[in-house]
Structure 1
Amino acid sequence: MPDPVDPQGVSDLPLDELVACHECDLLMRRPHLALGEKAQCPRCGYELYAHRHNVVERSLALVIAALLLYVPANFLPIMQLNLLGQTSQDTVWSGVLGLFNTGMQGIAVVVFLCSMGIPLLKLLCQLAVLLSIRWNIGRSYGLLIYRMYHHLRDWGMLEVYLMGVLVAIVKLSDLAELSLGLGLTCFVSLLLIQVLLEVVMSPHQIWQALSGEDLHAGD
């Protein structure tokens, strides 16, 4: 665990040697981690950061996989509903259009942004940041894009949309013949990949690489 810093001695230490806990604001000396190690706050136990292996390569693979799943997840049928001889196939995009065409334009815009627009923008930001590190070009722009990504993190709500889909499936299953489509599988896979990406793409190591530091320091 990192060592807490005496407030009286903070001014004597360079800023790059200090780290603050995001949960309890305890100021500590920045630890030097070996491969696979994690740093935790000695006061509240919050994980400050971890030193993971091949962060950029693994994250790139996950981002590309998520981008490949994006189109089928949003445009392939999530479910097929058969009611009184009439069949309809619903996708994420058709849901947005349905809200818009029924006069709920404001809700349609919010659903589009949170379920399609912002998740895609987040993936493109992650891709740009990782490529700037991988190819060692435009890291100053990479810093700006990564800051933008952190502001977007709370606005991509795929899990909320998925919960809405599951609730609809449960409620409609007693009223009509319902079959699940390939789009739902792609949507769930996209959500799981994005969750895994949040774990693999260590923010500390990404900031470190964008700042020009050795990503493998401490190995």
Structure 2
Amino acid sequence: MADSAATQDVSTLPLEELIACHECDLLMRRPQLADGERAVCPRCGYELYSQRTQVVRRSLALVLAALMLYIPANFLPIIRLNLLGQTSEDTVWSGVVNLYQSGMQSVAVVVFLCSMAVPLLKLLCQFLVLLSIAWNIGRGYGLLFYRIYHHLRDWGMLEVYLMGILVSIVKLADIADLSLGVGLACFVGLLLVQVWLEVTMTPHQIWQALSREDAHEGN
């Protein structure tokens, strides 16, 4: 573990060899790390970044898993509700449609964007970025898609939608017979895989792999 970064005079160093701490703004030489090491700011102790192994391959596996979970998570029943002899099945997509048909078009659009459209766009951008690195093609497009992904990060809110589902289940449990569907398990799995992907796909290694001559070094 590299517990600190060099803090020697940096005024003559090229920009690509410098890094600034996100917490205290200390400017220092970018340390060279081996796999498994992490760089820590010598002034405030903030972790600057860590060097993970097999980032591209592991991230590709997680992206493919998330894409496979996407359709069942959004189109298979989340809950089955039996009330007064009538049974209904609710999915994420049916929730959007019901909101739209009940006159709440603006809410339906927001739910669709945050729970379905943006998460899918994020996964597709990540997939294309990782392919451009793994196959060493379309580097310019890879940079573009990675920038788009960063702009979309704050708009995907699967965890908020999941909390809404759980609150609804708790409130309806006393007035109707509820059973959980496969869609809920897929939705939770999709959320967990995306969180794991965020941790695995370290930004500094992806930017380095996209900007270097030989992208295979990032594999």
TM-score by length of 2: 0.94
Q: Give structure 1 stretches of 5+ with no counterpart.
A: none
CA distance in 2, matches of 1:61, 1:76: 23
Q: Report if aligned partners of 2:134, 2:215 keep a CA contact under 8 Å in 1.
A: no
1:132 — aligned with what? 132
Q: Give structure 2 stretches of 5+ with no counterpart.
A: none
1:92 — aligned with what? 92
CA positional deviation for 1:46: 2.5
CA positional deviation for 1:165: 0.4
CA positional deviation for 1:10: 3.6
Give the one of 2, 5, 9 matched to 1:3: 5
CA RMSD of aligned residues (A): 1.7
2:78 — aligned with what? 78
Q: Which one-letter code corresponds to 2:152 in the other structure?
A: L
1:22 — aligned with what? 22
CA distance in 2, matches of 1:45, 1:163: 34
Moved more, 207-216 or 190-199: 207-216
CA offsets per residue over residues 147-195 of structure 1, 9 Å max, x none? 1101111110000000000101111101100000000000000000000
CA positional deviation for 1:5: 3.8
The 1:122/1:217 distance shift into structure 2, 3 A limit, reads closer
2:109 — aligned with what? 109
Q: Report the number of matched residues.
A: 216
CA distance in 2, matches of 1:214, 1:28: 26
Equivalent position SS for 2:4: coil
Q: Report if aligned partners of 1:2, 1:29 keep a CA contact under 8 Å in 2.
A: no
Moved more, 36-45 or 167-176: 36-45
Equivalent position SS for 1:87: strand
Q: Which one-letter code corresponds to 2:73 in the other structure?
A: A
1:44 — aligned with what? 44
CA positional deviation for 1:2: 3.5
Q: Which one-letter code corresponds to 1:142 in the other structure?
A: G
Q: Does 1:196 align with 2:177?
A: no
CA positional deviation for 1:70: 0.2
Equivalent position SS for 1:35: coil
Q: Report if aligned partners of 2:38, 2:50 keep a CA contact under 8 Å in 1.
A: yes
Q: Which one-letter code corresponds to 2:30 in the other structure?
A: R
CA positional deviation for 1:23: 2.6
Moved more, 40-49 or 132-141: 40-49
| Percent identity for Structure 1 against Structure 2 | 75
Equivalent position SS for 1:48: strand
CA distance in 2, matches of 1:114, 1:120: 10
Q: Which one-letter code corresponds to 2:25 in the other structure?
A: D
1:172 — aligned with what? 172
Matches within 5 A, 1:30-69: 30-69=30-69
CA distance in 1, matches of 2:180, 2:217: 48
CA offsets per residue over residues 103-138 of structure 1, 9 Å max, x none? 110110000000000000000000000000000001
